[in-house]
Structure 1
Amino acid sequence: MNPISLIFLALAMSTDAFAAAIGKGSSLHKPRFIEALRMGLIFGVIEAITPIVGWAIGHAASRYVETWDHWIAFALLLGLGLHMVYNGVKEDVEVEEKPGKHSFLMLAVTAFATSIDAMAVGIGLAFVDVNILVAAGAIGLATMVMVTIGVMLGRVLGTLVGKRAEILGGIVLMLVGATILYEHLSV
């Protein structure tokens, strides 16, 4: 795989995480750069691990994962997106303080949901001549940068549009899940 293709692959793999990060950033109370970087690292590490896992699975049982990856991604992204939309439309009984940071578990689940497609890419990379560690590193680095930027952008959007940004982030997650499902079912 040539370096240009690798860069485009890494950027493409990070776009759904970027959209999720905007929603996550908007739901926080003025996230600082260090929190954005923390989220970027969590997403980046998980996004780097999943193509390696996919690559390993590609050698062992590619048909099983390729058959179900889109359903898993769709279900996780739909659930997370619905949760974000619910939080955005529910009426506040009292003034709710936005958290200063998200829990590791919530971030890890979101990161995993947005990285299922990277696992499928890893499966595909098992059948071409590519250094999976270099490809996974590029995907993880691009995701870390995009998520960090997304969280900071979500901070700005969150102060401008409030709960609408969380609703939009949830809708984007559901659309990403539906797109993944559609792309796999229409083939």
Structure 2
Amino acid sequence: MNPVSLIFLALAMSTDAFAAAIGKGSSLHKPRLTEALRTGLIFGVIEAITPVIGWFIGQAATRWVESWDHWIAFTLLVALGLHMIYNGLKHEEAEEEKPGQHSFFILAVTAVATSIDALAVGVGLAFVDVNIWVAAAAIGLATMTMVTLGVMLGRVLGTVVGKRAEIVGGVVLMIVGATILYEHLSA
């Protein structure tokens, strides 16, 4: 995977966490930078761990699917991209009651929920030539940065930007999947 694709992948993986962080930030009264950094760190670490877990799962299956691994990566990334676009487009039926403070447990559960797609991406990355440690670090750093910014921007921007960020992230994932397929088929 080339460095540009890796950067786009890391940014795409962080968009759903960014959307969640905007919601978390909007529920706090004047969130401080320390709360934003704490939230970013929790999300970033979890988002960095999940693709590694997925990669190990994918590595276990590699010997059985080597001839069509690029199609698996493409299909997973496109499916995840479509799912993110769907989530970004669907309308919320009821406004959730937001907590006054964010406990570690609530932040960790939210981070795990937003990193399930990173687990699936990790499975897909097992089938392409990528250093999973570099990819996981890039995803974690991008997520930490985006979540920290999301919390700080949350009170001002609200959930509208968060939904659009998820749509953009879905489109980027689909482009990364198409790039992987193109690079493999043209080689």
Q: 1 CA distance for matches of 2:13 and 2:114? A: 9
CA positional deviation for 1:30: 1.1
Q: 1 CA distance for matches of 2:49 and 2:93? A: 26
Matched ranges for 1:21-100 at <5 A? 21-60=21-60, 85-87=95-97, 99=100
Q: 1 CA distance for matches of 2:32 and 2:56? A: 37
Runs of 4+ displaced beyond 6 Å: 81-84
Q: 1 CA distance for matches of 2:61 and 2:125? A: 14
Per-residue CA distance 1:43-97 (angstroms, 9 max, x = gap): 000000000000011123589xx7xx97xx99xx9xxx97982316xxxxxxxxx
Matched ranges for 1:142-181 at <5 A? 142-157=142-157, 165=158, 172=163
| Residue matched to 1:2 | 2
CA positional deviation for 1:129: 1.2
Q: 2 CA distance for matches of 1:127 and 1:156? A: 41
Q: 2 CA distance for matches of 1:154 and 1:126? A: 35
Per-residue CA distance 1:17-66 (angstroms, 9 max, x = gap): 11110000000121101100100000000000000000011123589xx7
Q: Can you give the 5+ residue segments of structure 1 that lack an aligned partner in the other structure?
A: 89-97, 158-164
| Residue matched to 1:94 | none
| Residue matched to 2:72 | none
Does the Cα contact within 8 Å between 1:20 and 1:172 map onto a contact in 2? no
- The SS at the match of 2:30 is coil
CA RMSD of aligned residues (A): 3.3
| Residue matched to 1:12 | 12
- The SS at the match of 1:22 is helix
What is the identity percentage for the equivalent residue pairs of Structure 1 and Structure 2?
68
CA positional deviation for 1:142: 0.3
CA positional deviation for 1:8: 0.6
Q: Can you give the 5+ residue segments of structure 2 that lack an aligned partner in the other structure?
A: 66-75, 175-187
Are the structure 2 counterparts of residues 83 and 35 from structure 1 closer, same or farther at C-alpha, using a change threshold of 3 Å?
Answer: farther
Query: Across the two proteins, how many residue pairs are aligned to each other?
Result: 149
Are the structure 2 counterparts of residues 103 and 83 from structure 1 closer, same or farther at C-alpha, using a change threshold of 3 Å?
Answer: farther
Q: 2 CA distance for matches of 1:86 and 1:109? A: 16
Q: 1 CA distance for matches of 2:120 and 2:7? A: 17
Q: 2 CA distance for matches of 1:60 and 1:113? A: 24
